[in-house]
Amino acid sequence: MTETVTRRRHSPAVYRRRRLVVLLGLLAVIALVVWLVVAPPWRGSAADSPAPVASPTPTGDPVATDLPALESDGSAATPTPGPSGDRAASDAEAAETADDVAVTSSAEPCVPGDLLVEAVTDKTEYAAGENPQLSIRLTNNGDACTLNVGTTGQVFTVMSGNDTWWKSTDCQAEPSDLMVLLEEGQVVTSAAPITWDRTRSSVETCGATERQAAPAGGASYHLYVSIGGMNSTNTAQFLLQ
């Protein structure tokens, strides 16, 4: 005689608990997949950090606009204000331009054969009590090139015959360097001329209140200039009355 086994049915509460466990497990799997996609554990801190941005740095040399004006101790020569009447403002503007107009250049240093260096005076004859104003003019007849046009490399010399009467480097104050790019065919001149006070200069008399006056009465003088080690191809002759 076979005995029939009757299976016991679970209560509805048991089925509800099982379905809840399955649902929670499914939600956990979905959450894990989302986490792996959105925030993969293999990403290190380097990937989370933004890439560094290189700050722009000026390269090359500023394009030449004019030549810096010489500074002196006030006895050998005095800088002459430009058209604005304010030489200091002119120099500051030139320096700002040099900072703002930085260019990338592979130009070679200038050589004497490419540059025309000229001595320039504002007049050829000066009346009694009138002081000569001296400048440099540069013309680049070659390819674009670089040159130190700072006051360290500028030399003004006034001579009468073989007698040197005045030299800008005798009493120069605070010389500085300034590397610039001279474009092909470019012409630049002194930002502001300097005024020779018609006296003899020397390193021993820079602070003197009285120095030997240059002869006048039609006496002839010649201005020689050099810049960056390159001498002027001419002299500027003038007369003192």
Q: What is the pTM for the complete model shown?
A: 0.62
- The pLDDT of residue 232: 95
Domain ranges for the chain, please list them: 13-41, 77-240
Measured at the CA of 189, the angle between CA 187 and CA 193, to 5 degrees, comes to 170
Q: Pick 187 or 105 by higher pLDDT.
A: 187
What is the overall mean pLDDT for the chain?
76
Q: What is the mean pLDDT of residues 52-80?
A: 49
- The pLDDT of residue 23: 73
Q: What is the mean pLDDT of residues 146-153?
A: 91
CA atoms of 100 and 63, how far apart (whole Å): 10
**CA distance readout (Å), 210 to 127, 140, 197, 198:** 21, 41, 11, 12
- Report the percent of the chain where pLDDT is more than 70: 63
Q: What is the mean pLDDT of residues 213-238?
A: 96
CA atoms of 219 and 241, how far apart (whole Å): 7
pLDDT at 84 over 80: no
- The pLDDT of residue 154: 94
- The pLDDT of residue 109: 93
Q: Pick 161 or 76 by higher pLDDT.
A: 161
- The pLDDT of residue 8: 61
pLDDT at 52 over 60: no
Confidence of residue 22 (pLDDT cuts 50, 70, 90): confident
Confidence of residue 32 (pLDDT cuts 50, 70, 90): confident
CA atoms of 85 and 210, how far apart (whole Å): 27
Confidence of residue 209 (pLDDT cuts 50, 70, 90): confident
87-111 pLDDT tens trace? 433 444 444 443 333 443 578 999 9
Confidence of residue 86 (pLDDT cuts 50, 70, 90): very low
What number does CATH give the domain 77-240? 2.60.40.10
pLDDT at 80 over 70: no
- Report the percent of the chain where pLDDT is more than 90: 47
Q: Exposed e or buried b for every residue in 8-38, given b needs 16+ CB within 10 A?
A: eeeeeeeeeeeeeeeeeeeeeeeeeeeeeee
The owner of tokens 């996609």 is 37
Q: Is 45 helix (H, G, I), strand (E, B) or coil?
A: helix
- The pLDDT of residue 102: 40
169: which DSSP letter? G
Confidence of residue 10 (pLDDT cuts 50, 70, 90): low
CA atoms of 158 and 161, how far apart (whole Å): 10
Token pair in block for residue 133: 């104003």
CA atoms of 238 and 23, how far apart (whole Å): 106
- Are 85 and 115 in contact, with CB atoms under 8 Å apart? no
- The pLDDT of residue 208: 87
